[in-house]
Each structure stands twice: as C-alpha cells, then as structure tokens.
Amino acid sequence: MSACTRCHGQLEHGDLRCAICALPAISLAATERQDRAKVLRCTDCNAAIAFSPAVQAPRCAFCGATMAIEQLVDPLEVAEVRLPFTVDRAAAEASLRGWLGNRGWFAPSALRDEAVLESLTPLCWAGWVVSAQATVAWTADSDEGAKRSAWAPHAGKVPMRFESIVVPASRGLTLDECRKLIPYYDLRRTEPVGDDFVESFDAQRSAARVHVQRGIEATARTRVEPHIPGRRYRNIRVACLLQGQTTQRVALPAWVLAYRYRGAAYRAIVHGQRPEVVFGAAPTNWTRVALVVLGALAVVAAIITFFATR
Amino acid sequence: MRFECGQCGAALSFEGVRTQTCPYCASPSFVERPASSSRPDPVFTVAFAGDAQWARAHLDRWIGRRMIIADSALKNGSVDELRGIYLPAFLYSAVARTDYTASIGEHYTETETYTKTADDGTKTTETRQVTRTEFRPLAGVHLGYITDVVVSASAGLDHPTFARIEPFELRQLRRHSPALVSGFIQEEFSREADECLRVSRGAAIDEVGEEVRRFMPGDSHADLHWSTKVEWESLDPVLVPVWVFALRYRGDRPPLRVVVNGQTGKIAGKLPLSWWKILLLVLGAAAIVTVIVLLILHLREPPP
C-alpha cells in the first residue's frame, strides 16, 4: 500500500486523490506523441464516436455499442478484518439472564424467569479503526481569568497521537450503542473476515472521509479538555492537521438479543468480547413506581401537616 | 493550428480548442499534442451529467422562476448558440497555517436601575436585567488542509463568473481520457498557471477566513485579523463541464449569455429585467403596505 507524499496518509487502490489532504495520487504517463488529430472509434463498427452523458461513456450513434472506459470506483466500504467473538452463545444468554435479574426494584420480579429469549444474533458491526498523528489547534471559553463575564476566551495548540480510534459505521446499531461497546474491545487481535454475519458499512468510500474526519474531531474535542485552563469550559472548537493517517475497516463482534416479557418485545446488546458489558431496554413494574410515588407524596403530606399543625 | 480530420482527411482548424467536429463527416476529432507549460494536459476531468436538452431544461426552469421581473420577450427567445464545453481549470490544494487575532465578546448580565414615569406623572424606580458584552483579546493558530479550490483557466470565463456556477462535485473526478471529451469542445488552457495560482491562493485564504470565523469561541467576535501561510501547494489541470448559451430574445439587443454547470445545472447569467414589471411590483407592494398601515391606524383609533 502506498502513502501520500504530503500527509503520509495511506492511499488505497483506485484512489485518484488522497482522501485526507486531496493531493493527486496519479501521475501522467509520459507517452511519445506527435501533433495530430485523432478520432475515437467504435470497437464494434469502427465509426467515430462521442461521449454520451446518459451512459457516462462513449456510445456509438450507429450501432449503439458502448465503449468500456474507466468508471468511477465508489464501492460500499467492506470490512477487511474482524475481531473474534470470545463470548459464545451460552455465555451471552447467561449474561443476559444475569442482567435481567439485576434490574433493580423497579423491574418486575418475575423478569429473570419469565422473559423469553426470542432471538440471539451474532452481529459483526462495521467501523473504521483510525490511527494518525495530529497537531490540534483549539479554542474554548473557560472560567480561568474571567472578569465580569463568567467566561474568558482561550486558545492553544497540542500535538496528539490518535491510536486505534474506532469510528462507527453501523447500520444495525445506533451510534449510542456503538459508543457503549467501543471501550471494551481488544483491537490488537484480529482475524480474517469470514462470510458470516459481517455487516456492510453504512457509507461509500467517498463518504468515508467525512465520517472519519468527524470521528477524529469528536475525539480531539474530548482530548483537549485537560489542556484548557480553568475548571469549567464551553464552546470547545478544534482544527486538526492530520499526518500519516491509516484507516482499517474492521468488523466488531456483539450479540443482539431480542426478548419478550408478557407480550412486549425488548432489545438488549451483549458485548462480543466482554460478557459483563450488557445494556438495553427492560420493562418497568408500574405498580411499584406508583407505590413509590404515592409513598413519597404521603411523606411530603405528612411533613407539611406536621409543620402546619404546630 | 490546422490538422486533418482523423476520419475523412478534411482540414480542421483547432484554434484555442483541442477537439473539433468535422463539418463534412460529422466525426469528432481530438488533438494529441505533447504537453507544454502553457498548454498542460488535464490530469482529471469531471464529465457532463446530461445532454443539451438537460441543459435547456435547467435554463428554462431558471428563467421561469424569474419571469415575474424578467423581460417578457425571453419567453419566446430562441437559442442562437448552445455549446457543451470542457472548460480548462486548475484544482488547488495546500496545507494552511494561520495566525489570528480577534476580540472575543463574552456576555454577562447586569442589574440596572431606571426611573419610570407613569401616565399621571408619578415617578417610580425599578430594576431590570440587561445583557452586556465584555470583549477580551485572543490570539492563536488554526491549521488544516485546503482541499477543493477550483479556478477557471479559460480566458473566456473570468473567475467571479466561474465561482457563481461552482461547486463541482469533486468526488466524481475521473482520470482524464480523450474518451470523456470526444464529441464536446475541449477548450485549450488560456490562462497562465502563475496567475491561476494567485487566484487560487486568494480563494483558499478566503476559505480559511470562513473556517477561522467558525473557530472563534465566545458569544460574538470582532476585529478578526488572520494571516495564512500556505505550504505544500499543488496545482493540477482539470477539465470541468459547462454549457454556454446565447439566447436571442429581441432583435435590437445583444443575446443573453448564460453559463450552466454541466454537472449540477447551476446557472450564472445577467437576466434582462423588465423595469415596467418591477415598477408595478413595487407599486403593488407599496399599496398593500399602505392598506395595512391604514387598517392598523384605523383599528387603534378609539371609537368616537
């Protein structure tokens, strides 16, 4: 794989320009040419042909043949490697049961025993794993040095190394669900992609750059926080100059569970590598909620009465 | 510059263009020529998205939307000239390092005391909350890549006009090939690369200015000054598609010249206006405003 000469980011096969800094990645072949006029000929009937916008290729007006030319490559992104599942089906189900039994007093007490597991699907969700060196310029308002206003402006510049930032591109999981899973993956061990349960990316290659850029900026915004003087801050803005960015398309394992409790369906997610990471929706025992609310109201009423009658 | 037609051998003139359609056999020819510094070979090409009818439909829609103020004769205008041209341009990118200084405004609220005079002349003192802004100086740096600046390299189309039909969707950029331009007019590069580099830098620095404005913290800012250093510049010849129309609508007037973005259909042109229509429109608006004002005044007046 070659690298861009300006930003040292990796170039992919078929890239005409660098995806990060837009430096052209092709050079013109210096061919021996003489000054003369030529016509483009139909490969079928040898007539002179012209480019047709409708088919985005030269088309012969006489025989209707279309000449094959280099077409734009903008494939859907596809995972290159995946992280292995270390939580198997039984363990995923067990951790769901454990989680259901641990939902607290507001959840129905029969939840653990009566919940019916409807489906337990292994899902390799799609994401980019990005590493890059960056210089991050930032501005923010903070309480440090504030005078009459509660805020004072600050600015700075810090070098940062982004190591294996996961930027989600999942169709099946929400961004929020992905964010909860990301911190618990072991990104060092990868295996080749099989054809099973691997999700396709929710982006084409040309759109990937914007997603990845936003992901890095979001990470940079959190990472500059310790560099901002003061205790409170707002309006954090960052501008990143990325160098040597490498991007890997990875499939990350998770178990998606659907369970049913007394007629209603709920969804929960179990991490594919750490069985203790479980989250999702659980039913609420409204009778207990009502009891607590009534109890609280009764206590408040009692206190008011107590003070009012003194 | 004259060459023989590649199909029938008739003599064709290639003045300022690299393609030509033979008037005898209707074959589209293109010229192969060694690249030189003043006549570079395009590296990329953005292809036409539609044919002449597609361009005409965009033009009709553009005129139709403006018919309320445009010269009525446009409706029956005839197309004198309609050409699909691959326009020479330069694609610029660079690393931009910017130093800025600005005055950042931070809001704060203050309690203000004021005196209120009632209808009967009695004075009372009251307080109210007012928002004020405190300005603080800020200096810093901004960094980034400038990626998609395109400037016209055609002497026939100046950069301001070109900027009005921008942007081109550069994700659709293709490697240049004669197969993409065959049958259309490929205009020869007619502006010097040095001049285009200067124009590109100007456009790039304007773009950085927009970004620096968005980069400022605080509730508002003023006195923003920035100086940008560009490094690692690249300037590459590209071809972009435009349709050029000449629409004749009155015998005594020069035809209306319109440029259409051949990829997106965006249009730039100076539409002939009908002053009568505008006058009527203004008078109509003034009449409506007058009626509303009179109505309000009438309603506010206490009943006799």
Asked if A147 lies within 8 A of B134 by C-beta distance, the reply is: yes
Q: Would you call B89 an interface residue with chain A, using a CB distance cutoff of 8 Å?
A: no
Residue B175 has pLDDT above 80, yes or no: yes
The pLDDT of residue A302 is 93
| Tens-place pLDDT, residues A14-34 | 788 888 888 888 765 555 566
Which 238-267 residues of chain B touch chain A by CB within 8 A?
none
The Cα–Cα gap between B283 and B270 comes to: 24
- Identify whether residues B302 and B202 lie together within a single domain: no
Give the residue on A whose Cα is nearest the Cα of B221.
A153
Report which residue type is found at A241: L
Chain B interface, best mutation among A4, A139, A206, by max B CB count within 10 A? A139
The Cα–Cα gap between B86 and A218 comes to: 40
Give the residue on A whose Cα is nearest the Cα of B131.
A149
CB B6 within 8 A of CB A38: yes
CB B175 within 8 A of CB B141: no
Average pLDDT value for residue range B149-164: 91
Q: Which residues of B touch A59 (CB under 8 A)?
A: none
> Which residue carries 């279309």 as its tokens?
A66
Query: Is residue B41 in some structural domain?
Result: yes
- Identify whether residues B254 and B298 lie together within a single domain: no
The pLDDT of residue A30 is 54
- Identify whether residues B187 and B297 lie together within a single domain: no
Q: Would you call B222 an interface residue with chain A, using a CB distance cutoff of 8 Å?
A: no
Residue A200 has pLDDT above 80, yes or no: no
Q: Show the domain range for B84.
A: 34-273
User: Angle at CA B204, nearest 5°, toward B169 and B265?
Assistant: 25
- Identify whether residues B296 and B201 lie together within a single domain: no
- Identify whether residues B198 and B294 lie together within a single domain: no
- Identify whether residues B87 and B198 lie together within a single domain: yes
Query: Is residue B156 in some structural domain?
Result: yes
- Identify whether residues B165 and B300 lie together within a single domain: no
Number of domains in chain B: 2
Chain B interface, best mutation among A5, A40, A46, A138, by max B CB count within 10 A? A40
What are B150's strand-pairing partners?
B91
- Identify whether residues B138 and B123 lie together within a single domain: yes
| Tens-place pLDDT, residues A31-62 | 556 677 778 888 778 778 888 888 888 888 77
Residue B223 has pLDDT above 90, yes or no: yes
- Identify whether residues B44 and B173 lie together within a single domain: yes
Of B91, B106, B171, the CB nearest to A141: B106
CB A35 within 8 A of CB B33: yes
Between A27 and B253, the more confident residue is: B253
- Identify whether residues B230 and B265 lie together within a single domain: yes
Query: Is residue B10 in some structural domain?
Result: no
Question: Which residue, among B236, B145, B156, B241, has the nearest Cα to B196 in the 3D structure?
Answer: B236
Residue B81: count other Cβ atoms within 10 Å of its Cβ: 11
For residue A165, the distance in angstroms to the closest alpha carbon of chain B comes to: 20
Query: Is residue B3 in some structural domain?
Result: no
The pLDDT of residue A27 is 67
The pLDDT of residue B66 is 86
- Identify whether residues B81 and B203 lie together within a single domain: yes
Question: Average model confidence (pLDDT) for chain B?
Answer: 89
DSSP state of B66: T
The Cα–Cα gap between B122 and B118 comes to: 5
Asked if B48 lies within 8 A of A53 by C-beta distance, the reply is: yes
Q: Which residues of A touch B27 (CB under 8 A)?
A: 39, 48
Query: Is residue B113 in some structural domain?
Result: yes
Query: Is residue B233 in some structural domain?
Result: yes
- Identify whether residues B236 and B290 lie together within a single domain: no
The Cα–Cα gap between B187 and B16 comes to: 6
Query: Is residue B12 in some structural domain?
Result: no
| Tens-place pLDDT, residues B10-45 | 777 777 788 888 777 778 878 777 777 778 889 999
